[in-house]
Chains A and B, each alone.
Chain A
């Protein structure tokens, strides 16, 4: 009786110690967000003037000036519609190819898979220069096309293909066979049987693709040069006045505006999102 009581007590103390330790480790993970939002409400002078997290004077004006400084709403919209387009395209293209690789027999399937895998590990930096010249040739520089095409068909898209393939492989084949018996074509089986069963994989692809596009930096940096075509990551590094002097308070306010919606969605759907990443990582 007493033994179990002390054991329980030790367990609770243990628990508290662990939690405390984890809280301390969590500081550098949480604090930057708090500091970012708080500084977004400060004046330029106060950001470096006082280390307090509570602004002396709440500068709501910052969040209005962000939109006056550059077409921030437009840039926000750009990021959003590009990310949605890339996600939709990737879902379509990768699930088609993933299905073929998982379910269909054809000569050269293994070779194709091997080919595609080789693209997985190659950094965008390697192919960015020729891609730049290709886009130039196609007249697509300073448009959003490169930001849609490159991620969809680049390493990210191929990773999505393999994620889908992996998932299709694990699905029971019987239902699809039954569909075929009913006279469904391959496309019909893919659309009305395989896809509905693959929701978790589709969700994972969607989440990762969306975030990847939303946070993309190198491609926008190189391909986009007009202010009203900027995406968020580019816009964030563009808070200087006409003479090149940094506008810290606006930059931090804008950064808050860019980060918080994603964080809110993340907190609401954290389970789903974290699982998606786990699913994508395991395939290695």
Chain B
């Protein structure tokens, strides 16, 4: 790659003596960045504009016929289709269930594992292992474990005298099951972010406080927790956005059921666009998702700016 282009700067200078240093630097910069930029325009900006246009049409995926319908798809979603608000409700419940659970568990594990003791590496490895595993594989296994009476979890519960619910068959339990298995899958990621943040806190802070007679809880509440602020914010936003994107996990474990109890926005877009061929409506949903995620991102930026 490098060999194909002139390595010697001097040679180049003679090739193009009319270029000022600054202009050449700018040109080179654009060359360096052009693959990324081109890809960004083709696979991101273009589609984003297209999706706005699609969302204003009625477009059948199979027949490929599009007619302009204005804002009909949006008003369908917002005012006419009861499924839409049900889906939004599910997505919000999913996020509200997942984010605090994930963060609390991540922080607890990080606090337990930020020190140095025998076995700390083993535990970190264990808690992080599901992160590198494919979501499909993870969901397949849990789907089996959570079967009705014959499922492993319920057999275990039965052996201690508890009659477990039919997890993936009751809407509320199914939502809970999806949330908890997702947390177990992803918590390792937030755990290591917290560990990194904890290890960056100088040890003398806590030591000094301890000398002054502060309890463990006080040290955490008044010294560590505030110092973790920026990390907590980042983790919160990343995790929330991630929770809106969840697709493969739901697809494998519940397929949006039972009783649409786990039908979330990402899955709903897929269903409308690719199963019901309703490209226009699906695009309107995609735009709504885009706006929601953008708002979350801006919210994060504003909070961070205020912080620093």
Contacts and interface: CB of A to CB of B under 8 A. Distances in A.
A116 B195 CA distance: 29
B286 A126 contact: yes
A131 B254 CA distance: 27
Contacts, number: 278
A258 B133 CA distance: 9
A14 to B, nearest CB: 10
Nearest to A265: B132
Nearest first, the 7 A-B pairs at minimum CB distance are A153-B39, A130-B47, A100-B32, A130-B50, A97-B36, A284-B234, A127-B47
Contact of A125 (B32, B124, B270, B296): B270
Interface string B31-71: 01101111110111011101100100000000000000000
Nearest to B51: A130
Given A133-B50, A188-B8, 6 more contacts: A32-B142, A121-B241, A128-B273, A129-B286, A191-B1, A217-B136
Interface stretch (B72-80, B94-102, B148-156, B206-214): B148-156
A252 B141 contact: yes
Interface stretch (A57-65, A66-74, A107-115, A196-204): A107-115
Interface string B103-144: 000000100110001010101111111111111111011101
B179 interface: no
Given A22-B123, A96-B32, A116 B40 contact: yes
Interface centre among B195, B234, B247, by most chain A C-beta atoms within 10 angstroms, is B247
A282 B195 CA distance: 11
B247 A218 contact: yes
A277 B192 CA distance: 8
Interface in B213-241: 234, 237-238, 241
Interface residues of A, number: 98
Interface of B: 1-2, 5-10, 12, 22, 25-26, 28-30, 32-33, 35-40, 42-44, 46-48, 50-51, 54, 109, 112-113, 117, 119, 121, 123-138, 140-142, 144-145, 147, 150-152, 155-156, 184, 189, 192-193, 195-196, 234, 237-238, 241, 244-245, 247-248, 251-252, 265-266, 269-270, 273-274, 279, 282-283, 286-287, 289-290, 293-294, 296-297
SS class, residues of chain A in contact with chain B:
helix
Contacts of A118: 294
A109 B22 CA distance: 14
A152 interface: yes
Given A112-B33, A121-B241, A134 B46 contact: yes
B297 to A, nearest CB: 5
A131 B47 contact: yes
A18 B125 contact: no
B48 A215 contact: no
B127 to A, nearest CB: 6
B283 A237 contact: no
Given A104-B25, A123-B289, A188-B7, A96 B50 contact: no
Contact of B126 (A30, A109, A112, A217): A30
A154 interface: yes
Given A130-B50, A191-B1, A277-B192, A157 B36 contact: yes
A273 B237 CA distance: 23
Interface stretch (A1-9, A33-41, A169-177): A33-41
13 contacts: A22-B112, A25-B109, A33-B133, A35-B144, A93-B36, A105-B29, A116-B37, A127-B43, A129-B47, A149-B43, A281-B189, A281-B196, A282-B196
A188 B5 CA distance: 9
B164 to A, nearest CB: 13
A261 to B, nearest CB: 11
A76 interface: no
Nearest to A15: B117
B238 A125 contact: no
B40 A236 contact: no
